[in-house]
Amino acid sequence: WQPEHVLPGSRSLLLLAAAYPTEEPRASKPGQGRVSRYAWGDDYHDVLRGKLHALCDFLRAEVPGAAARGVVDTAPLLEREFAQLAGLGWVGKNTLILNKRLGSWLFLAAVLTDVELEYDEPHEASHCGTCTACLDACPTDAFVEPYVLDSRRCISYLTIELAEPVPEPLRGGLEDWVFGCDVCQEVCPWNRKAPRQEEGPFVPTAAMNPLELAGLFALDEAAFRARFRVGSFARVPCLIS
């Protein structure tokens, strides 16, 4: 989990955040399911990877011979902790990075380099105060205590990563979530005024807010990949018939 393991000779990390909230979620009806906002549009890995490549090229042009590597969820790097150390925000009780202006609707990415840059100050203060909205609202009681998440109970894990049926005691808490979960972010006061984007790669593609479910059962793997090839939703294996 050390930068040296991601880029040998690393001396600096440039931490970046991209805000992704767009329109508000529409209420789902019977036969529809909710998808986490981050998966409504293009796959953020592809979007951010292109920007990281451009940033690395800029650094190499400014410092000939410099080594640089951009990563976004693709390397053993604790982006959240490094984001706090770089001053991007504080770790909230829901275990996500929170920024006063942007809230927690953020994708995190990093550029590692062997160039020694001027370091920013860590974000030392926490601004969650006595608020427990995220802890109280979790449908599956996934928070053991503030700042501690039991991933085995988290709806995002249960609907994306778990490779077996969801444990029966947790199924009721999933409600109509079929991919990810936004509950702990939707109730966070810091997200009430987070800026929204009206255009760009994270704007919902057709029929993702919400998602019609019946037609998914008729898709084989090839058809599923063809329909969802440009988004993060393509990661889910359990919906392939």
Hey, which residues are catalytic here?
A: 73
End-to-end Cα distance, the chain: 36
The strands making up 177-179's β-sheet, listed across from edge to edge, are 177-179, 32-35, 211-212
Q: Are 70 and 111 in contact (CB under 8 A)?
A: yes
Q: Which DSSP state fits 179?
A: E
> CB-side exposure of 229: number of CA atoms within 13 Å?
6
CA proximity to 169, closest of 141, 149, 135:
141
Amino acid identity, position 14: L
